[in-house]
Amino acid sequence: MSLSSDLALSLAVSKVRIEVPVSGKSLVGVEVPKKKVGRIVGLTGDEATAEAMRQINPDVVAAYPITPQTETVQRFSEFVAEGIVATEMVRVESEHSAMSACVGAAAAGARAMTATSANGLALMWEICYIAASYRLPIIMAVVNRALSGPINIHCDHSDSMGARDAGWIQIYSENCQEAYDNLIQAVRIAEEEKVRLPVMVTFDGFIISHAMERVEILEDDEVSQFIGKYKNAYSLLDVDSPVTYGPLDLYDYSSCLYHSFLRPKRDDSPLPLLNGAKW
């Protein structure tokens, strides 16, 4: 079966991206708005993630390389070295330190991101719970890889499933396009006032991270406009409105806190996502 030449070419797109014909007629002959097609490039999942991070231009990225996530951090560090982004790149000695740095940065009022895989995420678990309990909207790309042992650098979801109950929202990506889209959308979701939770965007190690696919890249200004400027709810550096992070929380309140991770505040105003979809 052939597709009409006036259709949007993407076949591997995020489920939340609204795809319409780029001409005035749909498959059923209904008039539809003309869709603006982004820049089409061939990227691996790791490269698409790094490109999304470049467009997001976070204040702080703290990360430690681990296969198969390494190319994401390597490519983004090149953007930092070339002055393409204004991000403060924190080169740490472990993933535990990477998440700790992100927690400190986010609590101080910065938009913070990181990336990891497998044992790296396992090393972060202690701090992942802290990030969620502080309601810090940290964004983390997780390139799924099996936990050791025996050593297996290939994909399964034991890493992100191990962190399932840490209070993070998890968004699983099926292809490179979704990895790109979901990372951008994660910023908007995490920072929404009624959510205020960290988000993991996951995609399969090697199957997606190292496979080159067709990816539609948005314009930089579109991404900037979509995510907006970071508005921190409670900054540790705001001396006029001092706050306390991490107080003692006993069993009678901690259960309510854990429940709030599962059920963020909901109202009748869904979150806008890319190309007009709703969350």
What are the pLDDT digits (tens) for 118-141?
999 999 999 999 999 999 999 999
Q: Is 75 left (phi over 0), alpha (psi -120 to 50) or beta?
A: alpha
Whether residue 196 has pLDDT greater than 50: yes
DSSP annotation of 246 reads S
Question: What are the Cα distances from residue 253, in Å, to 125, 135, 136, 195, 259?
Answer: 21, 15, 19, 19, 10
- Domain segments of the chain as ranges: 44-227
Whether residue 223 has pLDDT greater than 80: yes
- Could you tell me the pLDDT band of residue 7, with boundaries at 50, 70 and 90? very low
- Could you tell me the pLDDT band of residue 175, with boundaries at 50, 70 and 90? very high
User: What's the maximum distance between 2 C-alpha atoms anywhere in the chain?
Assistant: 65
Give the rounded percent of residues in the chain with a pLDDT score beyond 90.
67
Whether residue 220 has pLDDT greater than 70: yes
What average pLDDT does this structure show over 217-243?
Answer: 92
- Could you tell me the pLDDT band of residue 279, with boundaries at 50, 70 and 90? low
Residue 213's contacts (CB-CB under 8 Å, 6 or more residues apart) are 12, 42, 43, 44, 45, 175, 176, 177
Query: pLDDT tens digits for 98-115?
Result: 999 999 999 999 999 999
Query: pLDDT tens digits for 28-39?
Result: 444 445 556 789
**160, 142 contact by CB (below 8 A):** yes
CA distance 267 to 83: 41
Q: How high is the pLDDT of residue 250?
A: 83
Q: How high is the pLDDT of residue 166?
A: 94
pTM summary value: 0.84
Q: How high is the pLDDT of residue 28?
A: 42
Q: Which CATH number fits domain 44-227: 3.90.740.10, 3.55.40.20, 3.40.140.80, 3.40.50.970?
A: 3.40.50.970
The amino acid that residue 268 corresponds to is: D
Q: How high is the pLDDT of residue 277?
A: 61
At 10, list the tokens.
Answer: 């993407």
SS3 content of the chain, % helix, strand, coil (to 5): 35, 15, 50
Q: Quickly tell me which residue has 């995420």 as its tokens.
A: 121
Q: How high is the pLDDT of residue 264?
A: 66
DSSP annotation of 233 reads S
What average pLDDT does this structure show over 63-84?
Answer: 98
For Cα atoms 174, 192, 257, give the angle at the middle one, nearest 5 degrees.
95
